[in-house]
Each structure stands twice: as C-alpha cells, then as structure tokens.
Amino acid sequence: MMDLLNAITPASVLPYCLLGMATFVEGPMTLLAAGAGVAAGALLPLPAFLSIVAGNLTADLGWYGLGRFGKPAWIESAAERLGIDRRLIRHTGKDIRKHAARLAFLAKMTVGFPIPTLLALGLNRVRLQRWAWALAIGEVIKSALLLGAGYLAADSIQRSSGAARIALGTATTGLAVGLMVYLKADKKKRQAKAAESIGTLK
C-alpha cells in the first residue's frame, strides 16, 4: 500500500481519475482544492483542469438523462393540484426549448441552478445538439475561474510569512467550510422541495 502511495506523482493518472470522480459529489470545492494542489505542485494544471471538466460534464449528462425519464404529464398534474394553469406550464416548456442554449450557459455560471435546468431540458426532450455546446463553454469558463481562484489563494498563503500564513490558512479553511455547509444546506432544501412535489403526484 505504501509503495502504491509513494508511486503517486503529479504525472500519475490516479489523482486525476479521483479528481474527476470527486466532482460528482462537490464540484466547486473540488475545483478550489485542485487549484491548491496545482499551486503546491501536487497536480499538473492541464490534466487537473480536463479531468474536472470531464467529470462535471458527465454528471450533467446524467441529470439530463434523468429528466428524460420523466413525463411532462406529471408536471402538469402537479401544477394543476397546486392551482397553476396548465397553459402556463406548456408556455414555460416552449420557452425552455426556445432558449435552451442560453439557459444551459447561464445556469452553468451559477451554483444551484444547473441541476434543475438540466432536469427541465431532459423533461422537455430538448436535443443535446441545441444546448450541449453552450453548457461546455460555461463549464470551461467556470472551471477555469474556480481553479484559478484556488491556485491564487494557495499560492498567496505559501508566499506569506509564518504568522500570516496561519491566519490566511485559517481564514481560507473557514470560508471553504462555510461554503460547503451552505451548499449542503441548499441541496437539502432543493431535495425537500422535490420530495414535496413528488408527494403531490401520489
């Protein structure tokens, strides 16, 4: 086991495979951590970037595929029980199909909106050719920004003096933990709302 760990270097494939899989769980935090790894010399910039982009896009296609398993009639039925006019749901579906590329790009540049957007694209049977390119562009831009932020933060800590390094490290860790807690809480809220919607269908 120790021989395996000692064999892991920035040029190894394993760290980048693990990095790509980690994006399935927590994309933004993985990007920041990868930036710190690049700054520390533990990861190579281009492989780290490509593995994260590939992991995120694979997860996005999974959410889109999950949406395609759904039926628009379920949404219309739930909307009717909530007192929402079915015509509004159908009109919203037309808008989603019309502005699919723009929605995919804008959702990718935010936190919390990509999953509902991808589910909506799948539910409305919008073809990949109409929006996948915009999603990929958004992913590349967002990943580059977050990876750069993680790199700059870690690099500034490494260049600082001992006391300043401790202070910056503590502040960075606190911000990272706070962001993770916020993202987890937001995810639970969305899951609770989704469960309530499913409950209305039964």
In terms of residue numbers, what domain contains 174? Answer: 2-201
For the chain, what is the mean pLDDT?
Answer: 76
Is the pLDDT at 82 greater than 80, yes or no? no
> Which of the 8 DSSP states describes residue 105?
H
Look at residue 191 in the predicted model and tell me its pLDDT. 59
Q: Which of 64, 170, 74 is nearest to 115 (CA)?
A: 64
Contacting residues for 20 by C-beta, under 8 A, at least 6 apart: 51, 52, 54, 55, 58
121 close to 64: Cβ distance less than 8 angstroms: yes
Q: Which of 134, 173, 137, 139 is nearest to 153 (CA)?
A: 173
Look at residue 200 in the predicted model and tell me its pLDDT. 47
How large a percentage of the chain has pLDDT more than 90? 15
Is the pLDDT at 105 greater than 90, yes or no? yes
Q: Give the CB-side neighbour count of residue 159, counting CA atoms within 13 A.
A: 7
Q: How many domains does the chain have?
A: 1
| Residues 93, 182: Cα–Cα separation, whole Å | 30
Q: Tens of pLDDT along 8-23?
A: 566 677 778 888 888 8
SS3 84: coil
Enter the pTM of the model. 0.67
The pair of structure tokens assigned to 44 is 């190579």
Look at residue 163 in the predicted model and tell me its pLDDT. 52
Cβ atoms within 10 A of the Cβ of 45, count? 16
Task: Taking the CA atoms of 156, 51, 111 and 33 in sequence, report the sign of the dihedral they define.
Answer: negative
| Residues 202, 189: Cα–Cα separation, whole Å | 20
Helices (H), the chain: 2-7, 14-22, 27-39, 45-69, 72-81, 86-98, 100-108, 114-123, 128-159, 162-201
Contacting residues for 131 by C-beta, under 8 A, at least 6 apart: 100, 101, 103, 104, 121
Q: Tens of pLDDT along 51-76?
A: 888 988 999 999 999 888 877 777 77
